[in-house]
Chains A and B, each alone.
Chain A
Amino acid sequence: MSAAVLSGLHATEAHRFPVFRVRDLAGSSFKHEHLPAILDDGRQRGFFEVHAENYMGAGGPPHRALEAVRRDHPISLHGVCMSIGGPEPLDRTHLARFRALVERYEPALVSEHLAWSTHQTTYFNDLLPLPYTDATLGRVCDHVNQVQDAIRRPLLLENPSTYLSFSESTMAETEFIRRIAEHTGCGLLLDINNVFVSATNHRFSALEYLSNFPLDRVGEIHLAGHAEQTDDEGDLLLIDSHDGPVADPVWKLYELIIARSGPIPTLIEWDSNIPGWPVLRAEAAAAQAILDRYKRDARDAAA
């Protein structure tokens, strides 16, 4: 095929935004208040993650801000309220809005949660837990397939943080997630803070959970801060609050995973008590340093 034809083909498949690779990169949540500081820094090595719902308005400043960031960086589109884990059919209007954002912003990563947030006509604005049974597994797989059909690419499904479990559950969360990935071909978003929070709350071993987690399916990692409360018996109950720096034991688990798997795109989430941009940037740089260390080690081992 001639070069002219090839370039013609490329022209018809033109992207609105540059294509970036994220494989070895760390990133952070994108908060509008940081936009001037981010633009002042210029183009950086890293990516930004946005909550899809914040960009589902028709126009205005949110889209302008996201376009400004997307011009120079890869982005990760993170859906919060698809209610994939819910018993009801997916909301077609919401699915269409989600697909439109994927088409418009050409994100490097697209993810959603293993959770539900809508019941009948009420939207609860929280990531609610679900029982792990054959019946719920079937429904979640249907929903994941429906999303992937709509966006025409694999979805990364995120493991939840939970505070309680359902008596009717018949399988472990890791088995439930593994089976979703096998049935639907979806990728996984491994939130290591969620693993640590859930392990503490349910008194299981985070390391064991991670050793049962299908790491070969993981396309993104989340790290975030958590808060401490107590349960009915006065024992520690961790809250997935995203309101502070990543805790030391979560960094340690993260380093173990990267040492085992090699670099995986890693995002620092910070959604409440949001600090100045330099603080968030430094957290992402700490994750980047770990990614870079194991990228180098992998190269050394190959040499």
Chain B
Amino acid sequence: MLPLEPEIPSYAAFAAALVDATRATPPIVTGPPGKGAVKRYNVYRNNVTVSLVNALAAVYPAVQRITGDEFFRAMARFHIRATPPSSRLLFEYGRDFPAFIETYEYARGLPWLADVARIERAWLDAYHAADAEPLSAASLAATPPERLADAVFTAHPATRIVRSRFSAVTIFAANRNEAPVGQIDAGTPEDGLITRPDAEVIVRHLPEGGAVFLESLISGQSLGEAAALALRCSPSFDLAAGIAGMIQAGAFTTLSLGAA
């Protein structure tokens, strides 16, 4: 008969020092006879940290381009120590990174950086979101005009909105490729709409009132309610352009007319 399953403390000891460089090499590990295990254990430490820094760099290429490699990697290391991944899916990692950037002392001179990161996070979520056929202009056109105000829409799984007090959409767009970046006035508030109607993720700069309008629709309010809310917040809101824009972007999948 087998004894009760013994505890295996080796794993805990091995794991505890992996992302904490102040801890000594766990005494449970060894090299071949006569050899130490410090550099041997450090191979695992290095693999863990470097691979997670690379994972964050893959999610946030524009942030890395803006800050430069050295700054980015140092910032990422702090974040990994504070918030290591809990999901095994690396494309889920870094959800807390924008909030971390906001509090990161050395990034205070770049107050818009966290919002650029939020757009990058939304971009990746849209990239991996479920595929769905976007609502066509024809479906909208087939709706009786007198019922249009009651229309309720279902958001496409990829649709995301990021609102910023800064020019985050412009800064994002300028730093997601290799082209040189000109002068950008960072102080103009910008709202971004992220969609993936087909294979390509698209990031659009929303006109004034557009974000309030779409957020209201995404939350399940009717077209009439969303339009009224957007106009209240931004008197210059253009409803016709807002509707045309959301269809073109593929932000929704279905339309229903609810109870009259």
* A binding-site residues for B, Cβ under 8 Å: 53, 56-64, 81, 83, 86-87, 91, 94, 116-126, 128, 130-131, 135-136, 138-139, 163-168, 201-203, 229-233, 235, 237, 239
Chain A residue, CB-CB nearest to B18 = A124
Q: Using a Cβ–Cβ cut-off of 8 Å, how many residues does chain B contribute to the interface with A?
A: 49
Please measure, in the bound complex, the distance between the C-alpha atom of A163 and the C-alpha atom of B37, giving whole angstroms. 8
Contacts A62-B128, A131-B8; is A125 near B90 (CB within 8 Å)?
Answer: yes
Of A64, A126, A128, A135, most B-chain CB atoms within 10 Å: A126
Q: Which residues from A are CB-within-8-Å of B171? A: none
Chain A residue, CB-CB nearest to B43 = A163
Q: Are A166 and B84 in contact (CB under 8 A)?
A: no
Q: Which residues from B are CB-within-8-Å of A91? A: 88
Partner of A59 from B29, B52, B90, B129 at Cβ < 8 Å:
B129
Contacts A58-B157, A131-B10, A163-B40; is A125 near B128 (CB within 8 Å)?
Answer: no
* B binding-site residues for A, Cβ under 8 Å: 2, 5-6, 8, 10-12, 14-15, 18-19, 28-32, 35-41, 43-44, 47-48, 51-52, 55, 84-91, 126-132, 157-158, 196, 199
| Interface SS of A by simple majority | mixed
Q: Are A237 and B39 in contact (CB under 8 A)?
A: yes
Q: Are B44 and A119 in contact (CB under 8 A)?
A: no
Q: Are A125 and B51 in contact (CB under 8 A)?
A: yes
Q: Are B131 and A60 in contact (CB under 8 A)?
A: yes
Q: Are A168 and B10 in contact (CB under 8 A)?
A: yes
Q: Which residues from B are CB-within-8-Å of A83? A: 88
Residue pairs across A and B with Cβ atoms less than 8 A apart, 7 shown, are A53-B89, A58-B130, A125-B52, A135-B8, A164-B29, A231-B35, A232-B31
Chain A residue, CB-CB nearest to B8 = A87
Please measure, in the bound complex, the distance between the C-alpha atom of A285 and the C-alpha atom of B88, giving whole angstroms. 33
Q: Which residues from A are CB-within-8-Å of B87? A: 123
Q: Are A116 and B11 in contact (CB under 8 A)?
A: yes
Q: Which residues from A are CB-within-8-Å of B52? A: 125
Q: Are A164 and B37 in contact (CB under 8 A)?
A: yes
Please measure, in the bound complex, the distance between the C-alpha atom of A145 and the C-alpha atom of B48, giving whole angstroms. 28
Q: Are B44 and A122 in contact (CB under 8 A)?
A: no
Q: Are B127 and A60 in contact (CB under 8 A)?
A: yes
Of B127, B128, B196, most A-chain CB atoms within 10 Å: B128
Contacts A164-B41, A166-B28; is A57 near B6 (CB within 8 Å)?
Answer: no
Partner of A87 from B11, B28, B29, B129 at Cβ < 8 Å:
B11
Chain B residue, CB-CB nearest to A97 = B89
Name the distance in Å between A131's Cβ and chain B's nearest Cβ.
Answer: 5
Q: Are A125 and B48 in contact (CB under 8 A)?
A: yes
Chain B residue, CB-CB nearest to A138 = B5
